[in-house]
Chain A
Amino acid sequence: MLIVKNLKAKIGDKQILNGIDIKVNAGEVHAIMGPNGSGKSTLASVLAGREEYEVTEGTVDFSGKNLLELEPNIRACEGIFLAFQYPVEIPGVSTVNFMKTALNKIREYRGLSSLDAVAFLQLMKEKMKLVEIDQSLLSRSLNEGFSGGEKKRNEIFQLAMLEPKLAILDETDSGLDIDALRIVANGVNKLRTKNNATILVTHYQRLLEYIVPDFVHVLYKGKIVKSGGKELALELEAKGYDWIKGDLALAE
């Protein structure tokens, strides 16, 4: 589904990604871990099309299309979804109206008819249950005055509504207490099918107890320095990131 080859990217003069290779197939969950500043969020942002980052080398193929050529909204229509680390507060735009516009844009792109108000509300009710989010929250301005946990739940609600092929969760666990984490993780797990895939960007192993990955990659200084199964996350948790840094220092 997603094939990233030798991806290099910078912001301003600062090179952040130094040649990333990763392949994600339908049905898989990949975790990308790494210490602060290793480039995890940059990778997520570049895949979603954030324009501050300049891709200097490499390719990203998404279901046969050159992802890097596509506008952010077309990427969304093609099936990429980024759950933001810091979801934006937008006064004056309700989540309900926003989601209705977004969903119908994506449906239009895919050649489906627009959902009418009734069908939309029905779909919304169904997905609300999945992420245990209250309707009153969704009628309010998007994320305005939401707690950290509410914002993250809203991200997962949007994920549920838009049903992307590839969900990229950027530090979705940060700032969540254990109950909120469980709700968010449950939502993500329920949305998993054999046709979609998930990339979890996280600093901690904690989230991976709830969403079990098929593959774990360790990112350090803009490169994937180690890949393995879910046990790699446990090893990292036990030994800390210094273990990776130490190994690399030895190798150099």
Chain B
Amino acid sequence: MSTATLNKTVEEKMALAFDQLSGQKNSNREEAFRDFQKLGLPGNKSEEYRYTPITRALEKNFNFEQQSFAKSTITSVEEFLIPQLESNIIVFINGIYSKEFSRIISPDTEIKISDLQSSLENKEALPYFDKYPKTSTDPFVALNSALWQNGIFIQVPAQTKVVKPVLILHVNDAKSSSLVSHTRLLLVLGESSEFTLIEKSISIGENPIFHTFSEEIIIKENASFDYVKIQNDEGKLHQVANTLINQSSVSKLNTFTLTLDGALIRNNFNIVIDGENCESHFYGLYLLKGNTVADNHTVVDHLKPNSFSNELYKGVMDNNAKGVFNGKIFVRPHAQKTNAFQSNRNILLTDTATINTKPQLEIWADDVKCSHGCTTGQLDEEAVFYLRSRGIPLDEAKAMLLYAFAFETLAAIKNEVLKKYLDGLISKRLNK
């Protein structure tokens, strides 16, 4: 009972924060907040958040009574960028878009970047906005839809290849106090366009941060989208990232989610394949240490026939770290000739590290090729001894084996500079 009472308190505090939005309130936000209130924060019995104690963490660390607009003291974002990578840079600081630090270098014939709120007001973004997030199914999707502060609307015109990627930096500066922020992205890739998006979160300071980020991504026919998410926060970040991708026919999608640090990370990754002859690759790698909890919930929903999806998530858990993987694949009745594959592989380095993994396959069509599998184990001692017997010290032998295990997940990264950077992050973590 005590938990339920506490939950109510947090939710009531959130209601106060919602009331303070006043001028920004509209029917979308109100409906979303009603959904949030109906769902409540996930309790101990919540199937979808069973292994991720997010409600407890929120109760303990945050005061939600008002939207915080904490000031940041940072003077540069240079150190957070990806070295040598020529990219457009979009910076959010504590949930607010920073014009000062953002930098768009691609011509506006290639890419249109605008403020989401204004694009809703002038109705440009309306046909796409809030079409896919189901606020009635997840409390954090609902919460973000109700409370988002700033957002970005990116449009890639049809038949356009955006040469330079866009890097979105979420900087959360909790140096002076705890921080709550909610940001948003709406991305529309026009027919036959090509685009690469990189997203990175940065935490500053010792105080706890709660950040929700919802992104709606619409990939029109024959377009190609590469997406990399880097979660490498050393602060006390609690993050729920809701990614909703909708694919039309003959589109291509490659994603890579790298999770290295953070207090509690939850990625809700939903892909709807609403077209034929689509090709989709989803890779994930979580290399966790300390007390980090990282939870990847993915849904791949095949609505139409003749598409291909392949999902590979791998994890290495050290110390007391906890990994969660839940992968659902739906193949709807009309989606004949679907090829859908999923694999989740884990290595536990200590007795106190844990992984909860659950693949779920639901197939209504009868002419499909689908498979899923998950494994969990320790490092192969025999392989470690083999390397050591050739002169390689224990730590390096372990790092070599873990790197070999992890490297496969970088398969879809085409940008060499980006790949080298990711490779460096992975090596650094494994050779600690």
Query: Does B390 contact A102, Cβ atoms closer than 8 Å?
Result: yes
Number of residue pairs across A and B with beta carbons under 8 Å? 71
- Say yes or no: is B366 at the interface (Cβ < 8 Å to chain A): no
Return the 6 tightest CB-CB contacts between A and B, nearest first. Answer: A92-B404, A76-B391, A102-B390, A72-B388, A106-B391, A88-B386
Can you name 27 A-B pairs with beta carbons within 8 Å? A48-B389, A49-B388, A50-B385, A71-B388, A71-B393, A72-B388, A72-B389, A73-B390, A76-B388, A76-B389, A76-B391, A90-B383, A90-B386, A90-B401, A92-B404, A93-B400, A93-B404, A98-B387, A99-B390, A102-B390, A102-B391, A102-B392, A103-B391, A105-B392, A105-B393, A141-B404, A158-B390
**CB-defined contacts of B397 to chain A, threshold 8 Å:** 73
Name the prevailing secondary structure of the B interface residues: helix
- Taken residue by residue from 315 to 332, chain B's Cβ proximity to chain A (1 for < 8 Å, 0 otherwise) reads as 000000000000000000
- Chain B residue, CB-CB nearest to A80: B389
Question: Given the complex of chains A and B, what is the CA–CA distance between A162 and B390 in angstroms?
Answer: 8
**A72 contacts across to B, CB distance below 8 A:** 385, 388-389
- Residue of chain B at shortest CB distance from A52: B381
Does B120 lie at the interface of the complex (its beta carbon under 8 Å from any beta carbon of A)? no
**CB-based contact A90/B391 at 8 Å:** no
User: Shortest distance in angstroms between A203's beta carbon and chain B's nearest beta carbon?
Assistant: 21
Considering only residues 65-80 of chain A, those with a C-beta below 8 Å from chain B are 71-73, 75-77
Q: In the complex, which residues of chain A have a beta carbon less than 8 angstroms from the beta carbon of B408? A: 92
Residues in chain B near residue A92, CB distance under 8 A: 403-405, 407-408
Q: Are B391 and A88 closer than 8 Å at their CB atoms?
A: no
Would you give the 0/1 interface string for A100-113, flagging 1 where the beta carbon is closer than 8 Å to chain B? 01110110010000
Interface membership of B77, Cβ < 8 A = no
Residues of B near A90 (CB, < 8 A) are 383, 386-387, 401, 404
A88-B404 contact, Cβ under 8 Å, with A73-B394, A76-B389, A109-B391 = no
CA distance A21 to B386 in the complex (A): 26
Which residues of chain A have C-beta atoms less than 8 A from B385's C-beta? 50-51, 72
What would 12 more interface pairs be, CB under 8 Å, given A73-B392, A76-B390, A90-B386?
Answer: A50-B385, A71-B388, A72-B389, A84-B386, A88-B386, A90-B401, A90-B404, A92-B403, A99-B390, A102-B390, A105-B393, A141-B404
